[in-house]
Structures are given as C-alpha cells and as structure tokens.
Amino acid sequence: MLNFTLSEYQVQALRFALDNRYVGLFLPMGSGKTLISLCVIKELGVYPWLVVAPPSVAKFTWKDEVAKFNLGLRVISLDGTPAQRRKKLRFDADIYTLSVDLFKDMYKGGYLKSFRYVILDEASMFRSPSSKRHKAMRQMRKNLERLIELTGTPCPNGIYSIWGLVRLLDSVVLGKYIKDFQQEYFRPGKIINNVVVEWKPKEGAEDKIYEAIKPVCLSIPVPNLDITCQLIDIYVDMSQAERKLYNQLKKDYILSVGTLDITAPTAAVLAMKLQQMANGIVYAEDGGSVFIHSLKLEALKDLLLQADDNAIVLYSFIHDKGSILKLKDTKEFEYSKWNSREQKVSVAHPQSMGYGLNLQSGGSIMIWYGITWNLELYDQAIKRLFRRGQTKDVRIYRILTRNTIDSRMAKALKGKESSQQALISAVMEEIYED
C-alpha cells in the first residue's frame, strides 16, 4: 500500500514524463524529483532502469526513497571494486544506481549496453558537450527507449549552457550543432585573438529558447514551503598583525613566515591562499602550513554552544576540517547517522553532500566555515536542509572574516555570479581596493 499522495505539480510532472519518452524535469531542488521518477517507473512497469547520480545519491538516496514510500522496487547500487560491480549486474533488480564518476568507464567497458531506460539524477553533470561523460551518454542515447533528466539547476551559468542537456533529449529543438544554437539565439560577446570566448543572448532569446524546449522539458513553479530559511552572517576581525600578513600576500603574491614561504603564482592561486588566510591556516610551499588566527574556530564554538538543533558544518580545506573535528560533539559526516539524528554536529565538504541527498531529517542548521564561489554548489548544499519534509525553520550561518576575500565571495554569490571569471574578478577587486 502506498503511503503518500503526490502534490498537484508532482502529478503534472509525472504525466509529462509518462507521455514523453525523452524528458527533462527541471524542477527546483527539494521538489521531490526522485519520488516523481519512482512513480514513473512503477506506472510504466518496464525494467530494469539505470540511475546515474552523484556518488552519495547513488549509494543512499534511491534505496532510501523506495523504502520510505513503500514502493516495493528492488534497488542495487553498483559500487565497490570493478569485479564487484560486474557481479552486481548479474543480480536481478528493478533499478541499478551508478555513481556518475564511474559511468564513462562502465559504458566504455560495455557493461551498460543492455539498459534501455535511464535516469540522469543531477543531469547538470552531463551538460558539457565536450566532456567524455556527455559523449558517452550521447552514444548510449541512441539505443535508449526512455531517458529522464533531473536537475534543479539546468543552466546555473546562463542560458547558453542548456544546449548540452537538451541535445541529449532531442537533437532538433535547439539545433543539431552548437553553431546552430549560437547563430539562432546569441551574438558574440567577448572575443580574444579572433575567437569568441563568450556569447551573449540576443534580445528575447531566453523566452524563445524556453518556448522551443517545452516539448521535452518541464519546469514548474513549486509552492513555497511552510518553513523559512534565514541567512545569518557572523563576522570576525583580524588583528593588526594578522591583517598585515594578509595584505602583504595580497600585494606581493608571496609571504615569508619564519622558515616557510607562501607563494601565489596566479590570481586563482592567490584567491585560494587568501581564503585560507581568512579561515585561519594557509598552506606553505613545502607542504607545511602557517597558523594565522583562530577567529573562525572560536566563532564556531560559540555558535555550536547556542545551537538548538543538529548542525552541519561545511569546510573548504583539509586543515579546516582537522581543526573543526577537534571540537566537542563533532563527527565526520555520515549520511545514515545524520538522518537518524545520531550526529549532533556533522562536518562535511559541500561537494560530498551537495547534490540530491535528503538531509532534512537530521537537523536544521548549516554553518559555512568557509564559503564557496560556486553558486550551484552553494545553492545545492542549502537545499539539502531547506526542502520538502523539513519541519523546522532553517538557519544558514556564514562565518566571514571582515574586509577579506570572504566579503568578495559573498558578494559574488549574492549577485548570482558562478564562474571562474567571477572568482578572478573577486580577487582583482580585493587586490586593487586600495
């Protein structure tokens, strides 16, 4: 007996996926895309399906969702050694889940050729037409009877990036070749050495693109959740001596502290080093590290003492992880233990839990010890807590070192800039602010 009722927009998405063989369900994060897909599988009654997903999602989410909603589907995760994965393929199942990191090699080895029904869970990982992953999927697509793309972020870097995803569904609606897409909807933006490196949409192009993909892609506004998500910035201030070290590296791209040297040969490396200094510890040239301050660690201690629910703390660098895990009640993130509320403070890198995981059962507090410039990763991580099924108001804390690159990164996220160029621009603003 099924123990759930689909919402109106989920029913609409289900019907769309049943009526069309190759579809993109571009629904907001937390809208129940996994459940919708499982209902599609049950309704169609054809098996087996291959689900290609981020590693943690492939290992946990689909099996958990089947059990949670009592769907009676057999799910096997194709993880383990190559020999173990091949052996698992011989077991009978309705759904096989596979980490996106293993997809290309498994396909190249001929182990996926029998599948006719595929779901790309977080299809944005396939959007680059030049990637080997996308090319392998293009080959596999030729023999598929059904393909479902799931993502809440089909084009986080602008509408130009949507072509690759739509091409996997239908090679006609946006043009068979990228040059057709460019000529129809874009004009040259930035040109370097007579090569167009950036394309700008023509007037009205975005509306035309959305209209063109309607036969294969569905995007529905989802009703607001009954809970709130509050963003709270906690600022810490460097001392005069700490600020002097920060400014010297920013100005000279090199800093000597005792016997250790810190160098930044490029603006991108400088950005990373400045982030590390803002966090408190920076890597040196010989593999060692230089302690700058413990301001963020102290602020984190205070937040955790005041926390009235379980919290996830997100770090950017390994030395930050080590420092955080020395604090009371902190544990390295484990999906099952977090969701069963066995972890009071879970410590994770955003990439390890940024796509597709349902973490709303474990707690309602997220603390960014060091923020990321990547808007898609940032939004995805937040939506692990702020999603359907969350029963408490969500609080997102960001610990920022005042008047450092932290502020620049926060500004880039607020302006929804998510590219390497946004990172470099943030560094340039930081360097030339004086």
Q: What is the CATH number of the domain that holds 332?
A: 3.40.50.300
- DSSP assigned state of 175: -
Say if 223 falls within a structural domain.
Answer: no
Domain contains 2: no
Residue 134 contacts residue 128 (beta carbons within 8 Å): yes
Q: Are 356 and 122 in contact (CB under 8 A)?
A: yes
Which has the closest alpha carbon to 93: 125, 123, 117? 117
Contact residues for 264 (Cβ-Cβ < 8 A; gap 6+): 249, 253, 254, 270, 272, 273
Same domain, 272 and 170: no
Tens digit of pLDDT at every position of the chain (434 positions): 556 789 899 999 999 999 999 999 998 877 889 999 999 999 999 999 999 998 878 988 899 899 989 999 999 999 999 999 999 999 999 999 999 999 999 999 999 999 999 999 989 889 999 999 999 999 999 999 999 999 987 887 788 989 999 999 999 999 999 999 999 999 998 888 888 888 999 999 999 999 999 999 999 877 777 888 999 999 999 999 999 999 999 989 988 888 888 999 888 899 899 999 999 999 998 778 999 999 999 999 989 988 889 999 999 999 999 999 999 899 999 998 999 999 999 999 998 876 668 899 999 999 999 988 888 888 889 989 998 888 899 999 999 999 999 988 888 887 655 444 554 565 556 655 65
Same domain, 264 and 174: no
| DSSP helix/strand/coil, 22 | strand
Residue ranges making up the domain that contains 171? 8-218
Q: Is residue 45 part of a domain?
A: yes
Residues 305 and 185 in one domain: no
Is 366 part of a structural domain of the chain?
yes
The CA-atom distances, in angstroms, between 303 and each of 300, 330, 334, 343, 369 are: 5, 13, 21, 16, 11
